[in-house]
């Protein structure tokens, strides 16, 4: 297999939001995002190694400071961190422990998906609840569900929600794997819905809308009834 074959597609979601969809895991595309801010630009998730980082970098303006955002600790979202040398990386406080715990085993199990070099780079800027970057028109907030330390990003003006892996991977699996359990996820889902997003972006699915969030809620409700 030719691993230098960089398969990806790029989609402009809004004027300042780019989705880079990486085809590395068969049948499961992985999305990274670029958000153009005023003071700096943002890369949301970094994919599979330095090769992925290079793919992302070609779409970044060279002259602006950059902040990398890790939505959660899973390997398919953080292996490219090392390709953003000397750049700050932000994540939830809980990501440090999770990355330390899971790094070796994830690398061992999924080595065939490494693209370029991979080296552990843990976020150096951490937060617990919310980071409101008012001047940039966006905020980051803790959103447990798929993982305990997951975070989401909301762009106020564009009404775009970046939900990490808190949205199921495709049209069939609309509820994601829930490490934090349904109750916590349900709370986060209500928060998502209250933001009234126009577009919801996630780690693996296509861009979806508010209707998708309502469908998840319906399915969760249905599951509850079915439990009796």
Note the residues at the interface with Zn ion (CB under 5 A). 74, 165
CA-CA distance, 226 to 228, in Å (whole number)?
Answer: 6
Candidates 23, 24, 22; CA nearest to 33 is: 22
- Smallest gap from Cβ 118 to Zn ion, in A, equals 17
Cβ proximity to Zn ion, 45 vs 158, nearer residue: 45
- Smallest gap from Cβ 177 to Zn ion, in A, equals 7
Candidates 223, 83, 67, 217; CA nearest to 138 is: 67
Helices (H) and strands (E) in the chain, counts: 5, 12
Cβ proximity to Zn ion, 74 vs 121, nearer residue: 74
Cβ proximity to Zn ion, 93 vs 177, nearer residue: 177
- Smallest gap from Cβ 57 to Zn ion, in A, equals 23
Cβ proximity to Zn ion, 116 vs 164, nearer residue: 164
Cβ proximity to Zn ion, 74 vs 142, nearer residue: 74
CA-CA distance, 100 to 83, in Å (whole number)?
Answer: 18
- Smallest gap from Cβ 61 to Zn ion, in A, equals 29
Candidates 161, 165, 89, 93; CA nearest to 129 is: 93
Bridge partners (DSSP) of residue 162 are 153, 201
Bridge partners (DSSP) of residue 92 are 127
- Smallest gap from Cβ 93 to Zn ion, in A, equals 18
């Amino acid at each position: 297999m030719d691993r230098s074959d960089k398969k990806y597609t790029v989609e402009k979601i809004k004027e300042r939001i780019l989705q880079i969809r990486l085809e590395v895991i068969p049948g499961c595309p992985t999305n990274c995002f670029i958000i153009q801010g005023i003071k700096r630009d943002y890369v949301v998730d970094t994919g599979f190694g330095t090769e992925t980082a290079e793919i992302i970098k070609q779409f970044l303006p060279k002259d602006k400071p950059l902040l990398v955002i890790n939505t959660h600790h899973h390997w398919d979202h953080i292996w490219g961190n090392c390709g953003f040398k000397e750049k700050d990386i932000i994540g939830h406080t809980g990501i440090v422990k999770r990355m330390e715990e899971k790094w070796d085993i994830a690398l061992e199990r999924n080595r065939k998906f490494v693209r370029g070099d991979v080296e552990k780079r843990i976020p150096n800027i951490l937060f617990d609840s919310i980071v409101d970057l008012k001047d940039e028109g966006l905020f980051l907030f803790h959103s447990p569900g798929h993982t305990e330390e997951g975070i989401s990003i909301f762009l106020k003006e564009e009404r775009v929600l970046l939900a990490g892996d808190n949205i199921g991977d495709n049209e069939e699996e609309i509820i994601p794997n829930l490490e934090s359990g349904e109750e916590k996820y349900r709370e986060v889902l209500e928060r998502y819905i209250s933001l009234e997003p126009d577009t919801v972006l996630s780690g693996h699915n296509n861009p979806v809308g508010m209707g998708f969030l309502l469908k998840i809620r319906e399915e969760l409700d249905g599951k509850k009834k079915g439990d009796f």
